A and B are shown apart, each in its own frame.
Chain A
Amino acid sequence: ETGVTQSPTHLIKTRGQQVTLRCSSQSGHNTVSWYQQALGQGPQFIFQYYREEENGRGNFPPRFSGLQFPNYSSELNVNALELDDSALYLCASSLGSGASYNEQFFGPGTRLTVL
């Protein structure tokens, strides 16, 4: 069974650029959640995708957008990068969604640095 994988592991961008981060779900999982972890902070929920539809969003501006593909892999896109976007971006996959909680399995993260 393959776990959650993310690419790239590290990324350096400059302010104003756009970035795409990728996540492959654990086998059999149909839900992907994205979290931002700034240095010294706990992860913060960005949004969740369930069967290719956005299924909840945290307090992040619209320049953070996502996509989930038919194979349940996912992308996180961030436009007009700001210095404060520098963080570790974590992807977590799970099976199912909605009212009942299903355990989320985390990937190793992508470290984004914005200069």
Chain B
Amino acid sequence: AQSVTQLGSHVSVSEGALVLLRCNYSSSVPPYLFWYVQYPNQGLQLLLKYTSAATLVKGINGFEAEFKKSETSFHLTKPSAHMSDAAEYFCAVVEAGGTSYGKLTFGQGTILTVHP
């Protein structure tokens, strides 16, 4: 069974500061990992994904994440926060192979607030 834990339901940063959103996963087989962003009253938009290629993954809007197997982590970072980054962020995992059905398992989400 697979699961995702996002540490911190709320993260607050100042504009221009480093953004760090934490995600740890549990999976019985090699996982694919994803970060999605959700703006109020909207669906989910894919920020980036890890699918067993390079461990450092770059996504849209200046975000990146590093897959660390030894730590079972996939933390999301951005060097300099922008006001438009304020949203809710979800980490998700899917098992690569087997009978996963493409079922995404999501974490509880982290709400990012950016202060001027």
CA distance A62 to B88 in the complex (A): 31
Residues of A within 8 A of B45 (CB): 106
Check A56 against B46 for contact (C-beta < 8 Å): no
Check B101 against A56 for contact (C-beta < 8 Å): yes
Check A48 against B46 for contact (C-beta < 8 Å): no
Stretch from A11-19, A37-45, A67-75 contacting the other chain: A37-45
Check B43 against A104 for contact (C-beta < 8 Å): no
- How many residues on A have C-beta within 8 angstroms of the other chain's C-beta atoms? 31
CB distance from B23 to the nearest CB of A (A): 11
1/0 per residue, CB under 8 A from A, across B78-106: the answer is 00000000000010101011111111111
The listed residue (B43, B51, B102) touching A56 by CB distance below 8 A is B102
* Identity of the chain A residue whose Cβ is nearest the Cβ of B98 in the assembled complex: A99
Task: List 18 extra interface pairs beyond A33-B104, A106-B36, CB under 8 A.
Answer: A31-B102, A42-B90, A42-B108, A43-B106, A45-B105, A56-B101, A58-B103, A90-B43, A92-B44, A99-B97, A100-B96, A100-B97, A101-B94, A103-B49, A105-B46, A109-B42, A109-B43, A111-B41
A-to-B contact residues, CB < 8 Å:
4, 31, 33, 35, 40-45, 48, 55-56, 58, 90, 92, 94, 97-109, 111
